[in-house]
Amino acid sequence: MPTTSDYTFHSAVTAPSHGHGPAYWFVFQESKLLVRAAGEGAEVLQASTAEELGLPILRRQYLGELRQDGQPPLHCYSAEADPSAALPDGVSAEGLRQLYTRLDEPLFQIAGRAVQIVDWDRTHQFCGRCAAPMENLPTERAKKCPVCELTNFPRLSPAIIIAIVRHTAEGPRLLLARNHRFPQNFYSVLAGFVEPGESLEQCAHREVLEEVGIAIQNVRYFASQPWPFPNSLMLGFTAGYAGGDFVLEEGEIAEAGWFAPDALPNLPPPISIARRLIDWFVAEYGKK
């Protein structure tokens, strides 16, 4: 399966004025991507024009170019199909989570971008201030009201996600918790949305205190990940335990505990930055 390192994606807003060959069309019915089966994998729809898709398209957006060395670039579009439309033969509508292991990685990443732009376009047809129809700006991903001039950009919701390590006499331990929505014995690291007027570090301290009642120290940036469920930007951190006993936020956290690198419960899939943080802990503190 090709990875994102094999490709480069160049984001753009304005579609080419001249014709081009087949392009990738990331077409969604509501939040599900239309794909064709390819063995155990899946393929994104390709067509030179929207009309070739054989679907009633409500709205479309140009995304940019996907490039690979030595090959012509492939243009990419997102589009929203009528949710009541019958699908062409061989085409199915599937959620992005289910497609993670079936789509090539670069196409999955673009699909995550596409679903957020489709949703933003669909839900911002009218001005939130004066209710006038919004107009797309020609050179940037934004909508502007021609009446009151309110400008709207695609929404992103920043959230922190954090791996907290405690050093004990028995060895290093990682804090994992089970949300009430999780299955039994399924745990992950803590996460929460950033509030207005709050730095990322302040959010990390607050979320950990609110969810499990402990203090942390040495908060360090780890990595980030766009997370299109529905429009988050996950900002990963590591931190050390600074004190306190568990006091769980009853409405959200069912269980929490300190886990050794070689005694972990069921974990999030590799798709997530949560798993990358857990894998970092195992690599850093597991048996060499």
Q: What distance in Å separates the CA atoms of residue 185 and residue 196, rounded to the nearest whole number?
A: 34
Q: Would you say the CATH fold of 157-285 matches that of 4-123?
A: yes
Domain 4-123 fold is Nucleoside Triphosphate Pyrophosphohydrolase (3.90.79)
Backbone angles phi, psi at 108, to 5 degrees: -65, -40
pLDDT tens figures, 221-277? 999 999 998 899 999 999 999 999 999 999 999 999 999 999 999 999 888 999 999
Q: What distance in Å separates the CA atoms of residue 161 and residue 238, rounded to the nearest whole number?
A: 9
Residues near 132 by beta carbon (within 8 Å), at least 6 away in sequence: 126, 145, 146, 147, 148
Are 112 and 9 within 8 A, CB to CB? no
Are 230 and 116 within 8 A, CB to CB? yes
Q: What distance in Å separates the CA atoms of residue 6 and residue 285, rounded to the nearest whole number?
A: 31
Helix ranges, 90-176 (H): 96-99, 105-123
Per-residue pLDDT of the chain (288 residues; tens, 9 = 90+): 455 568 899 999 999 888 788 999 999 999 999 999 999 999 999 999 999 999 999 999 999 999 987 788 899 999 999 999 999 999 999 999 999 889 998 999 999 999 999 999 999 999 999 999 999 999 999 999 999 999 999 999 999 999 999 999 999 999 999 999 998 899 999 999 999 999 999 999 999 999 999 999 999 999 999 999 889 999 999 999 999 999 999 999 999 999 999 999 999 988 899 999 999 999 999 976
Q: What is the pLDDT at residue 196?
A: 96
State the CATH class of domain 157-285: alpha beta
Residues near 277 by beta carbon (within 8 Å), at least 6 away in sequence: 161, 162, 163, 189, 222, 236, 238
- pTM for the model stands at 0.89
Q: What distance in Å separates the CA atoms of residue 91 and residue 58, rounded to the nearest whole number?
A: 18
What are the C-alpha distances in Å from 9 to residues 23, 67, 74, 140?
14, 6, 10, 17
* Token pair 């732009």: residue: 117
Q: What distance in Å separates the CA atoms of residue 208 and residue 197, rounded to the nearest whole number?
A: 18
Give which of 249, 237, 248 is closest to 274, Cα–Cα.
Answer: 237
Domain ranges of the chain: 4-123, 157-285
What are the C-alpha distances in Å from 231 to residues 15, 120, 271?
24, 10, 16
Q: What value, to the nearest 5°, has the Cα angle with vertex 130 and ends 79 and 231?
A: 40
